[in-house]
């Protein structure tokens, strides 16, 4: 359907933050004084437009809730044409609200958090660039357009993670994130190429219409390649190792990238590509397996970290695993994957910004062993963070309770083993998040005498209050099955499978498991003295969790070292083989030329002697033949 009315301004949602990025990054010092407000205003403007369009979309029937906008012809090769086309439908509408709304709050928070940074204007330029790329990713009507936003997000994340580039650790973390994401991007690009070869188009509508006619092996290949791309952006095993190191960036970056935007791109890709995975059951199963491994992987890591941001990063990895799990369950879970994605965007952004507030009040210390009893010194931060904590552990009534429980229900109905993994993840989540709360806001104070914890300014706490409210109220999206009905035109109706027990019983089991996780944390952390230095005499599991379950070592052993051996072998082959042939041939010619050069000395007598010698040889040859 062609855009009309306010929908004709759809392009402006992307153009506003993109224009802000251009002004802030090109304008130079002229924008230093007011650049941060410009960056905040552009994203806020996109949010206002998103709200107005969402309200307009609510008033339409299901069949009319898909609006396309053609901006211009991007490129054409023979019969293959790609337009700069946008697609606004119920799925992209939710993403627009989440991305622009949470990003606007993060921009506002950053005004205070980055107040004394001499490069604040550039920081806001990078934030605007990131938001524009993410909006392009979720609004594109073609996989090539998605890839444009996909790569834009990768570039902006590299710039933001390594923003404090004077720190070697930040520069290394940015490079690591960039390289690992490129591995996933190769899968994404190959999937798009295979779509073009198979269907002659890369538009969602074209691929969806023809997907049923392709062979299962082709669809499986496309699905697995898309999954590889999703693993990179969403930090799923085996491409998860960059996420925790990415905490080297400023805390608002962690909230922006690891809560509501970049890491959710993989979930969006799988959900948007439902027509691919529905025709590729092997790829769909692979999504579920990867998700189960990741949700437990991230949860275990979160149990052993002392860096407050890295605990939340491990938690992000785990929660994205829940979303991917739901998406891998097909029609039974697509809507719940997006539902949990939205609620997670609220409570995780709330907690990341809350962690930044804690750091702001404690001299930028990230070690939870140096906190304790901060609820008294930072009451607003404590109360808002507590709302996010109750949401993520699934406390009854809070947003996470509704969204995560729906995923667990779908998982149990699909497969008992998958359901058990999801249930176990809920218990571990409750443990490590309670540990974080106890070490940070309760237990005995452990900060140095020169540290004076204090509450953050209002420009930082107001976004916390808003996000805390959303963390509590996000579950209203499920009232009357609204979120599932809203997404039906995109992902189809939810398939309800029979549970082995009544829903209320399963809910009770989940609550009990969560309570056990909380109780274990209180027993092991809350009732014991928390040492300022991490104990070294610990179990193998704890050491492994502290080392990110040896993700870097695995990558080093399976990829980096064999890759190094391969490269060294290629270099040796090139030096001794290719270069040897080329240089040896050149040397042989040189040697022959040096010999021949001796006969060309410029003396007439030498040439006459040569002619005489040649004549003698010729005469002798003729005599020999005649004889």
Please give the structure tokens belonging to residue 8. Answer: 């004709």
For residue 85, the model assigns a pLDDT of 95
Chain centroid to Cα 319, Å, comes to: 13
Write out pLDDT tens, residues 561-614.
887 787 788 787 877 777 778 878 888 888 888 777 776 777 777 777 778 888
Encode 502-517 in three state secondary structure. CHHHHHHHHHHHHHHH
For residue 501, the model assigns a pLDDT of 93
| CA distances for 353 relative to 127, 519, 612, angstroms | 15, 26, 98
Do 256 and 103 contact (CB within 8 A), yes or no? yes
Identify the sign of the CA torsion 27, 33, 36, 39: negative
Instruction: Return the closest-CA partner of residue 137 out of 271, 316, 228.
Output: 271
Strand partners, 220: none
Percent above pLDDT 70 for the chain = 99
Task: Give the whole-angstrom CA distance, residue 118 versus residue 279.
Answer: 52
Write out pLDDT tens, residues 477-510.
999 899 999 999 999 999 888 899 999 999 999 9
3 state DSSP class of 539: coil
DSSP 46-66: HHHHHHHHHHHHHTS-GGG--
To which residue do tokens 């030329």 refer? Answer: 593
Please, where are the H alpha helices in 140-212? 143-161, 168-199, 204-210
Please, where are the H alpha helices in 305-371? 308-328, 334-361
Q: Which residues contact 122 (CB under 8 A, 6 or more apart)?
A: 24, 25
Task: Give the whole-angstrom CA distance, residue 316 versus residue 34.
Answer: 33
Higher pLDDT, 624 or 445: 445
Higher pLDDT, 385 or 608: 385
pLDDT at 618 over 90: no
Write out pLDDT tens, residues 294-341.
999 999 999 999 999 999 999 999 999 999 999 999 999 999 999 999
Task: Give the whole-angstrom CA distance, residue 444 versus residue 492.
Answer: 52
pLDDT at 1 over 60: no
For residue 623, the model assigns a pLDDT of 83
Cβ density class 362-396: b for 16+ within 10 Å, e for less = beebbbbbbbbebbebbebbbbbbbbbbbbbbbbe
Strand partners, 87: 68
* Residue 389 binned pLDDT confidence (cut-offs 50, 70, 90): very high
Do 356 and 113 contact (CB within 8 A), yes or no? yes
Do 405 and 510 contact (CB within 8 A), yes or no? yes
**To 10 degrees, what angle do helices 216-233 and 281-304 make?**
20
pLDDT at 233 over 60: yes
pTM of structure = 0.90
Strand partners, 367: 307
Percent above pLDDT 90 for the chain = 76
Task: Give the whole-angstrom CA distance, residue 92 versus residue 17.
Answer: 17
Task: Give the whole-angstrom CA distance, residue 180 versus residue 549.
Answer: 17
Task: Give the whole-angstrom CA distance, residue 611 versus residue 618.
Answer: 10
User: Would you mind telling me the total number of residues written for the chain in this entry?
Assistant: 627
Task: Give the whole-angstrom CA distance, residue 17 versus residue 13.
Answer: 8
To which residue do tokens 């506003």 refer? Answer: 16
pLDDT at 351 over 60: yes
For residue 12, the model assigns a pLDDT of 97
pLDDT at 377 over 60: yes
Please give the structure tokens belonging to residue 372. Answer: 């304790």
Task: Give the whole-angstrom CA distance, residue 478 versus residue 263.
Answer: 23
Average pLDDT over every residue of 88-106 = 96
Task: Give the whole-angstrom CA distance, residue 74 versus residue 153.
Answer: 20
Torsion of CA 103, 108, 112, 116, to 10 degrees: 70
Task: Give the whole-angstrom CA distance, residue 351 versus residue 312.
Answer: 8
| CA distances for 109 relative to 63, 113, 115, 246, 470, angstroms | 39, 6, 10, 19, 16
* Residue 258 binned pLDDT confidence (cut-offs 50, 70, 90): confident
Other C-beta atoms closer than 10 Å to the C-beta of 189 total 18
Write out pLDDT tens, residues 118-128.
999 999 999 99
Instruction: Return the closest-CA partner of residue 471 out of 107, 134, 102, 131.
Output: 102
To which residue do tokens 């040897």 refer? Answer: 580
Average pLDDT over every residue of 611-624 = 84
Instruction: Return the closest-CA partner of residue 103 out of 346, 344, 362, 340.
Output: 346
In Å, the largest CA–CA distance within the chain is 122
For residue 561, the model assigns a pLDDT of 80
Mean pLDDT (the chain) is 92
Identify the sign of the CA torsion 475, 480, 486, 489: positive
Cα 545–549–550 angle (5° rounding)?
Answer: 130
Other C-beta atoms closer than 10 Å to the C-beta of 432 total 26
């Amino acid at each position: 359907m062609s855009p009309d009315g306010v929908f004709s301004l759809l392009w402006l949602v992307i153009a506003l933050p993109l224009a802000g990025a251009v002004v802030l990054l090109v304008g130079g010092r002229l924008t230093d004084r007011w650049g941060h407000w410009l960056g905040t205003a552009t994203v806020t403007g996109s949010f206002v437009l998103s709200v107005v369009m969402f309200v307009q979309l609510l008033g339409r029937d299901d069949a009319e809730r898909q609006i396309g906008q053609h901006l211009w012809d991007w490129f054409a090769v023979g019969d293959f044409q790609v337009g700069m086309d946008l697609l606004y439908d119920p799925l992209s509408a939710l993403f627009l609200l989440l991305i622009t709304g949470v990003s606007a709050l993060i921009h506002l928070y950053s005004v205070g958090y980055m107040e004394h940074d001499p490069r604040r204007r550039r920081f806001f330029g990078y934030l605007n660039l990131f938001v524009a790329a993410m909006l392009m990713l979720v609004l594109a009507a073609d996989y090539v357009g998605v890839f444009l936003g996909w790569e834009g997000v990768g570039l902006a994340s590299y710039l933001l993670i390594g923003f404090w580039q004077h720190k070697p650790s930040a520069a290394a973390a940015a490079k690591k994130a960039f390289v690992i994401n490129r591995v996933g991007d190769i899968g994404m690009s190959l999937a798009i190429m295979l779509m073009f070869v198979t269907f002659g188009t890369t538009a969602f509508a074209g691929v969806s219409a023809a997907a049923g006619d392709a062979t299962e092996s082709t669809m499986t290949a496309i699905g697995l390649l898309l999954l590889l791309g999703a693993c990179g952006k969403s930090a799923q095993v085996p491409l998860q190792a960059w996420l925790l190191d990415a905490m080297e960036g400023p805390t608002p970056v962690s909230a922006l990238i690891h809560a509501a935007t970049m890491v959710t791109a993989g979930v969006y890709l799988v959900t948007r590509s439902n027509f691919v995975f529905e025709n590729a059951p092997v790829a769909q199963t692979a999504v579920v397996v990867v998700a189960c491994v990741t949700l437990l992987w991230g949860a275990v890591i979160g149990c052993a970290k002392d860096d407050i941001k890295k605990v939340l990063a491990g938690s992000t990895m785990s929660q994205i695993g829940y979303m991917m799990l739901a998406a891998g369950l097909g029609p039974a879970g697509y809507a719940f994957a997006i539902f949990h994605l939205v609620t997670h965007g609220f409570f995780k952004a709330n907690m990341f910004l809350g962690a930044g507030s804690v750091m702001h009040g404690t001299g930028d210390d990230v070690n939870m062993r140096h906190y304790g009893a901060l609820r008294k010194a930072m009451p607003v931060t404590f109360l808002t963070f507590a709302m996010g904590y109750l949401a993520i552990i699934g406390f009854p009534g809070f947003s996470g309770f509704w969204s995560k429980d729906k995923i667990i229900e779908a998982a149990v109905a699909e497969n008992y083993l998958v359901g058990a993994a999801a249930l176990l993840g809920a218990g571990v989540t409750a443990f490590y998040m309670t540990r974080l709360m106890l070490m940070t806001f309760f237990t005995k104070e452990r900060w140095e005498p020169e540290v004076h914890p204090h509450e953050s300014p209002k420009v930082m706490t107001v976004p916390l209050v808003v996000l805390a409210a959303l963390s509590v109220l996000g579950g209203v999206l499920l009232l009357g099955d609204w979120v599932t009905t809203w997404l039906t035109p995109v992902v189809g109706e939810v398939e309800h499978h029979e549970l082995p027990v009544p829903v209320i019983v399963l809910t009770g089991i989940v609550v009990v498991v969560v309570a056990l996780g909380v109780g274990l944390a209180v027993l092991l952390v809350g009732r014991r003295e928390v040492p300022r230095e991490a104990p070294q005499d610990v179990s193998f599991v704890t050491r492994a969790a502290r080392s990110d379950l040896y993700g870097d070592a695995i990558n080093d052993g399976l990829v980096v070292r064999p890759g190094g051996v391969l490269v060294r072998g290629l270099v040796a082959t090139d030096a001794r083989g290719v270069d040897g042939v080329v240089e040896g041939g050149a040397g042989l010619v040189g040697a022959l030329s040096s010999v021949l050069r001796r006969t060309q000395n410029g003396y007439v007598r030498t040439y006459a002697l040569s002619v005489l010698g040649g004549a003698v040889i010729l005469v002798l040859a003729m005599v020999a033949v005649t004889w």
